């Protein structure tokens, strides 16, 4: 024990002895020191296991005498019958209810005057929860897969909850051959949420920095995926199939010389999963993968016509505070495209390359800050944004948009 003043702190208050003989029986502990804790306890997570049982997880241990039902409340109102600790560390609780939780209803649990072993008191801590529902076929879709990672990388499978249900991933299984639970914990997946399953989120974040960690789930049960072809199967805990995808390396863009580290992204939620034409390589502009995020190649049903916009059409570069740059944005009704964007002067001379022969997503935006390829600010006057789009089917289409560089006096 590190600090005998706080015996209820649990595992964080214990460490292996540093005594060479292997222990200090009858003597002061070799690891004795004062623990410092200035933060009050808070609710870390709340899971409705059933319509009458709620599991509450705190971020640190508390004393069992600190819990009083009169300090607990749920809105909309749910009557609490009893509370019991489910761990020796006094950080996991079971709330047994007298009134049933209603489906498709958001509740908020609030605990007042919650104290830890150090005497820190939390005046009030709250957490929202809802009753999970069983997933039916295609409620959860296979949305993205990386099956050929970098040599030091990891596979991942991204799921998308297209339903209006709150789903507990504890009840979902993933496999290519054997049926394995995604997680042993109760992890809630909200409607319209993306969730990426991988064995090592840290490695994934190193290769694709900036990903939303909330949407990344570590799973020791994710199966290995072959680099050339294989299957991904989602099922519920009864073995009922929710979604299925047979992937092949040939589904990748023909423009790619190497698909290592490049994920396959679903193009449309509406089209069948097991349709090769519904998959495309993640755009290079998105880092070749979008774990936990909206797919770079996603086509939404709202996109009916190709559209390219430039806003504003007149801007003044140089941190003037008045439209310092122009934003070039597009929406396309097809995916798997390549693009080049150049800025031309009034004589048609190329002065700036925004991007050249780069794979792009269905929805992209770039900005031009009024600089040429040498990093010099261009002169005032009219310019042309020249955008060329092409794909492996032979489509090649140029777009020209006028833009004006001004000056703020």
* pLDDT for 89: 62
Dihedral sign, CA of 191, 196, 199, 200? Answer: negative
Q: How far apart are CA 281 and CA 72, in angstroms?
A: 50
Phi, psi of 226 (to 5 degrees): -65, 150
Say what the alpha-carbon torsion angle 160, 165, 169, 175 is, to the nearest 10 degrees. Answer: -50
What pLDDT is recorded for position 331? 79
Query: Which helix (H) or strand (E) covers residue 206, if one does?
Result: helix 201-207
pLDDT at 300: 64
- Same domain for 184 and 80? no
**Any bridge partners for residue 203, and if so which?**
none
Q: Do residues 356 and 268 share a domain?
A: no
| Paired tokens of 265 | 């992204």
Among 238, 254, 286, which residue terminates a domain?
286
Q: How far apart are CA 396 and CA 400, in angstroms?
A: 14
Radius of gyration of the chain (CA): 28
Q: Residue 280 in contact with residue 392, Cβ under 8 Å?
A: no
**Which is it for the CA torsion 140, 141, 144, 148, positive or negative?**
positive
Least Cα distance to 68 among 117, 113, 3, 19 occurs for 113
Report if residue 371 sits inside a domain. Answer: yes
Residues 54 and 183 in one domain: no
* CB-based contact 161:134 (threshold 8 Å): no
Q: With respect to residue 135, please indicate whether it lies within any of the assigned structural domains.
A: no
**In terms of residue numbers, what domain contains 99?**
37-129
Question: Does 189 map to a domain?
Answer: yes
| CA dist., res. 310 & res. 326, Å (int) | 7
Please report, for the domain that includes residue 199, its CATH number: 2.60.40.1260
d(CA 227, CA 112): 53
How many domains would you assign to the chain?
A: 3
Q: What is the length of the chain?
A: 409
Burial of 89 (0-12, 13-18, 19+ CB in 10 A): middle
Q: Do residues 340 and 356 lie in contact, with contact meaning Cβ atoms separated by under 8 Å?
A: yes
8 falls within a domain: no
- The pLDDT of residue 302 is 47
Whether 31 maps to a domain, the answer reads no
Q: Are residues 162 and 233 in the same domain?
A: yes
Judge contact between 61 and 9, C-beta under 8 A.
yes
pLDDT of residue 408: 62
Classify 35 as helix, strand or coil: coil
Co-location of 267 and 178 in the same domain: yes
Q: What is the mean pLDDT of each run of 10 residues along the chain (409 residues)?
A: 78 88 93 81 93 93 78 94 80 93 94 85 94 96 97 97 95 82 91 96 94 93 92 92 96 88 93 90 90 86 63 78 76 83 91 91 84 91 92 85 82
Instruction: State the Cα–Cα distance between residues 350 and 70, nearest whole angstrom.
Output: 73
CATH number of the domain encompassing residue 370: 2.60.40.1220
Helix (DSSP H) and strand (DSSP E) numbers for the chain: 1, 27
Give the count of beta carbons closer than 10 Å to the beta carbon of residue 206.
Answer: 13
Same domain, 110 and 148: no
**Tokens for 37?**
């804790």
Contact 377, 370 (CB under 8 A): yes
* Final residue in a domain of this structure, among 97, 129, 161: 129
Return the structure tokens found at 270: 């509406």
């Amino acid at each position: 024990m590190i600090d005998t003043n706080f015996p209820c702190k649990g595992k964080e208050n214990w460490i292996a002895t540093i005594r060479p003989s292997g222990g200090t029986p009858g003597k002061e502990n070799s690891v004795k020191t004062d623990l410092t804790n200035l933060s009050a306890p808070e609710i870390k997570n709340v899971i409705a296991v059933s319509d009458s049982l709620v599991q509450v997880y705190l971020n640190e241990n508390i004393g069992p005498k600190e819990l009083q039902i009169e300090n607990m409340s749920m809105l909309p109102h749910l009557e609490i019958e009893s509370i019991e600790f489910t761990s020796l560390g006094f950080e996991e609780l079971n709330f047994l209810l007298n009134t049933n939780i209603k489906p498709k209803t958001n509740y908020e649990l609030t605990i007042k005057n919650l104290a830890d072993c150090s005497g820190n008191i939390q005046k009030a801590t709250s957490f929202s929860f809802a009753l999970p529902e069983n997933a039916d076929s295609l409620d959860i879709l296979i949305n993205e897969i990386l099956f050929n990672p970098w040599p030091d990388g990891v596979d991942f499978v991204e799921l998308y909850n297209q339903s209006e249900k709150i789903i507990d991933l504890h009840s979902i299984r993933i496999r290519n051959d054997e049926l394995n639970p995604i997680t042993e914990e109760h992890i809630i997946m909200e409607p319209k949420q993306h969730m990426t399953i991988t064995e090592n989120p840290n490695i994934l974040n190193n290769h694709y920095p900036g990903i939303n960690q909330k949407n990344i789930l570590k799973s020791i049960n994710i199966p290995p995926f072959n680099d050339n072809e294989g299957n991904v199967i989602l099922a519920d805990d009864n073995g009922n199939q929710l979604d299925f995808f047979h992937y092949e390396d040939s589904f990748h863009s023909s423009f790619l010389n190497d698909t290592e580290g490049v994920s396959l992204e679903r193009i449309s939620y509406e089209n069948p999963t097991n349709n090769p034409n519904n998959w495309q390589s993640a755009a290079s502009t998105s880092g070749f993968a979008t774990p936990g995020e909206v797919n770079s190649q996603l086509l939404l049903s709202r996109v009916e016509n190709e559209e390219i916009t430039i806003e504003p059409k007149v801007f003044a570069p140089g941190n003037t505070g008045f439209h310092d740059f122009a934003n070039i944005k597009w929406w396309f009704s097809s995916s798997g495209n390549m693009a080049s964007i150049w800025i031309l002067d009034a004589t048609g001379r190329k002065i700036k390359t925004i991007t050249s022969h780069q794979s792009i997503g269905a929805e992209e935006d770039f900005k031009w800050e009024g600089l040429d390829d040498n990093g010099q600010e261009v002169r005032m006057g009219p310019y042309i944004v020249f955008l060329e789009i092409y794909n492996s089917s032979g489509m090649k289409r140029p777009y020209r948009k006028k833009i004006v560089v001004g000056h703020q006096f």
